Amino acid sequence: MSRLTHLDDSGKVRMVDVSDKKGSARTAVAAGSLTCLVATLEQVRSGNSPKGAVIATAELAGIMAAKRTADLIPLCHPLPLTKAAVRIEPDDALPGFRVEAEVRTNGVTGVEMEALTAVSVACLALFDMLKAIDRSMVIGGIEVRSKTGGKSGDWHRSGTS
């Protein structure tokens, strides 16, 4: 097992020095879900939720969160993102919403945390906008699906494309 990169030799917390790393195109895709009552899903689909454009607002919240990841996660490097996209799809099988984020940069460190933050905040925004009509909602399954670029190369979670 490799040593933890956010600790120095004496065990003190530090931000990893990436100044000597070579930049590359990097992408990360993360996903998660929000399960809810069938009636909640139908209310969103019909456009009758009390807080308006639920999906569009949550997608925007996710994009904004990706851009602010370094402000939220203490040792993340602030990155110039070249893409942050969030897609939320209703899913009858859950029932609920599938949330996916894709984040890109050209830089010296990966964007997995930005993609995870985008999905997490999009799910939280969905929850916030729907809690008045459904207190039983559950956020779950938040994971990195894939990443490309960097020294460690490409990685894809088994069972995902």
- Please give the positions annotated as active site: 128
Helix (H, G, I), strand (E, B) or coil at 157: coil
- Rounded to 10°, the helix 54-67/112-130 angle is 150
Query: Can you read off the two tokens belonging to residue 36?
Result: 């809810």
Residue 54's contacts (CB-CB under 8 Å, 6 or more residues apart) are: 44, 126, 129, 130
**Phi, psi (degrees; rounded to nearest 5) at 112:** -60, -45
Query: Can you read off the two tokens belonging to residue 21?
Result: 């790393």
The pairing of strands 81-91 and 138-148 is unpaired
Place of tokens 């985008």: 118
Q: Is 38:95 a contact under the CB 8 Å cutoff?
A: yes
